[in-house]
Structure 1
Amino acid sequence: MNGSQVKIDHVSKEFGDFIALNDINFTINQGEFFTLLGPSGCGKTTLLRIIAGFENPDDGAVLFDDTNVVGLPPNKRHSNTVFQSYALFPHMTVFENVAFSLRLKKVDNATVEEKVRKYLSLVQLEEHMYKKPNQLSGGQRQRVAIARALINEPKVLLLDEPLSALDAKLRSSLLVELDRLHDKIGITFIFVTHDQSEALAVSDRIAIMNKGNVLQIGTPFEVYESPATQFVAQFIGETNLFESTVVKCEGYKAKSGEEYMVTLNTPALGMQAQLTGDTQATKEEDKNILVTDYEHTDEGQKVAFTIRPEKIRITLEEPNVNGRKDINVFKGVVEEPVYTGFQSKFYIKLEKTGTIVKVFKQHTNYLDDGPEIQWNDTVYISWSAEDGYIVEDIEK
């Protein structure tokens, strides 16, 4: 099987006064595992239903390999949908559930037998083919639904929050199965979820949606490490985010190549520089945040600064930065330590401002980490300028 390219061409949809989709425009590549990610009500399921043919857009087109499928019923689109509810027939065996669409097409029994066994083997359910759905686990029922969708050999498989009804361990296991299945059959997967960890785990690319808009499209690495907006930075994983003002921007040779070193005045972290056009007006005792950026930013520009908790180092002793000027160092007190097994989360109240900064410490060689950091300890937190990120739009 080969997947189709799917182009969403300026699609809009309203329900009364509610704008579900606002001029959505992007292309999903052939054979790609593409995820629509966002909170409830962001428009992702509406967009999936339009791609599937269960809804029609008010404006725009949906193209499968350059053919506009708007107006075509779902069974004419070379796509199949796996629903959150599985939608299996309870009175039929697993075999007959998977065979159902072939029976409707009056396919001969030998072909039905061959194809059903093939797709049950693909989802590793051959030994359960004569059971009823109520004799299966939730994960097994979901795999039956996937096999039933795949037996029609669609070019696009649409997955509408297919794992949300499962427990955390089963979700994790089925994600691996979905990824393996995608690699094996090579068709286009369009996956809808509100769970950012699911999206990061399996996607080739992710479209982050909110309030009917697509805010960013990129690989998991791109949307996590280089968020385009404050919403994306806060929705994908956990982060520390502060409103700031650009004090200075100058050329800088970073590890990743030529970039800019940006000096930020960030009041939440204790910065009180006066932006008079003379950057020397900053009081020496008021440290500014240093961050590298790919683009030039103007002095006085309002931006947001974000630093992921796992990028921050926490120590009981003041770190020796060996004369490096690109390391940000702050002193604070452990407000709350949270042990989670593979890591500890610390909520640090900064000495100057009382601002809370989240820090995640991975337990790699726990016994070699030195004295355990505890509640009310005075600590130092530090991070490299290259680990922070500037988000230029301030969202109110």
Structure 2
Amino acid sequence: MKILHTSDWHIGRTFHGVDLLADQASVLGSIADSVREHGVDVVVVPGDIYDRSIPSSDAVTVCNRGFEAIRAAGAVIVATSGNHDSAVRLGAGASFAAAGGLHLITRVGQIGTPVMLSDQFGPVAFYGIPYLEPEITRVELDVPRARTHSDILGAAMSRVRRDLAERTATDPSTRSVLLAHAFVVGGEASESERSISVGGVETVAVGEFAGVDYVALGHLHSPQMLSESVRYSGSPLPYSFGERSHRKAALLIELDAAGLSSVQRLDLPVIRGLSQVTGTLEELLTESKYADSEQCYVSALLTDPVRPVDAMRQLQARFPFAVHLEWQRPEGQSDLKYRDAVRGRTDMEIARGFVSAVRSDPSEREVTLMAEALSAAARAEESTVELSETA
């Protein structure tokens, strides 16, 4: 059996305010092409299909068309909800969807009941563990004292192992695939994942998944191997500039009669690159070395001595997909601690330095106003001291 592991679609997400639906529709089409090209039997999506619990109608349309394209390419789909999805909304109509080959696992009650598919070697049990919030699910999982994600996942895996043991006792050829949305120890996070805990109790150990032939993980956005059979596929698109070095991919899994046979990385197309550029506004607008960034999503760091007026509009004349802009004066890069920077300076010098650092050098009128304000503050302090001495 051939299985394509993809996750964290985040349909409906924006990138610094820019709508990504067209990019997402394009990459879902590429995933469907991979299904057709490689003869994939099953596509697994462990969570965060949508970016919000209440997706827009346009996001739902893009997602549904993606599902339809994958089904038309020949694959059954097994998916779970993540910490961004609404389990209730995503799971609405799950029974009806399953009849069309889309199996949605979003409820605690589904954890021990796999989606059963088969190939020439026998049955394959697909188990799903959606994102489980400890405070909400511990009673339903019959672990009322559970407080951490590790506790909750352990209880969920007990249900999986119990069911799997019964099935393999009846048919030893049964193999297993698990979908889970979690932050597993050893995984490397990026800027665009939303924390799934408070207080640092979110991580779970790789050993929690022992006994399953392949574990398809969701939540982290870069492809990662935690063990030969436990992996993150990562998101199909980059969702932060911290991911600009990621090469996005899906994972092609093959099962044979003995279980996991091979894992192949399938690189996904770069829909639009990410670029971070640094320089003065004039340099960014004119120098040829920035030409490769013209069709990328651009984050610009300006180093002009004075903050340029209307800089983003000017940047977008050359970089139409510029989405983020910062201004930092060259001298603002000093590593001096604040107390070292102000030692031996007058109040006026400190005030002028602050205005220059956060904006630009103050005008003469502004210097006069600062001097008047400092004088007024000094007089008020003197009056307070005199009153306290006479009291």
TM range (shorter): 0.3 to 0.5
Question: When the two structures are superposed, what TM-score results if normalisation uses the length of structure 1?
Answer: 0.34
Question: When the two structures are superposed, what TM-score results if normalisation uses the length of structure 2?
Answer: 0.34
Which structure is higher in strand share? 1
